[in-house]
Amino acid sequence: MKLLNIFAVVVFSVFFSIAGVSADTISSCPTTISSSGTYTLTGDLSSSNYCIKVDASNVVINCGGHKITGTSGTTNYGISGYNGDVNNVTINDCIIDKFGDGIVIPGGDNWQVNNVVVANSTSNYYGGIYISGSANYNNFNNVEVYGGIKYGVYIYGSSNNNFTGLYSHSNSNYDIYLTNSGSGNYFDFINFS
């Protein structure tokens, strides 16, 4: 029986190594994610620069309701796809506060942002959520963006992004700003105040 258990553990380990599945924790900023897998915050985090740079596709970030706090700098960010080729990223249950830009998607496709709050963005350019460079087919579900000194959601040159349950309010310029955008951006159950 003992030999059978050891065999099962070896097969299980080899299967998940081949599949590229990993489960890692994030316990400090700055952090660069350079491998596909699932990453979980171990607690609240703070940073004077950026916090999480995603430099790999097929990544899941589970914040578990923890808060990522910046220092109100204008050029830093909470979570960003580092280059335009980062696809299939999921961000769950995060509170992102006091970064220049809360979430930056610079050209990546198929991002999923679920149950996220982005507050008090301090960027002089974009704001809470910045989607640019032909970032397409991204989905945002139950997202609140507020208190930014510029924009709540800034979409530049992107198409087919879906927002369901967006509450964008108290941002200085616009709660949602689309410029040079493609077509098919969809907004449902949007609340402004």
Q: How far is CA 167 from the centre of its chain?
A: 17
Residue pLDDT, tens place only, 125-172: 788 999 987 899 999 999 999 999 889 999 998 999 999 999 999 998
Dist CA 136 CA 131 (whole Å): 9
CA distances 107 to 70, 103, 138, 161, 178, Å, are 23, 13, 10, 12, 15
- The verdict on residue 5 lying in a domain is no
Q: Is residue 15 part of a domain?
A: no
Indicate the number of domains in the chain. 1
Structural domain for 54, as ranges: 21-192
User: The pTM is what?
Assistant: 0.86
160 with 184: CB under 8 angstroms? yes
Within-domain flag for 115: yes
pLDDT tens for each residue of 51-94: 999 999 999 999 999 999 999 877 789 999 977 789 999 999 99
- With tokens 């400090």, the residue in question is 28
13 part of a folded domain: no
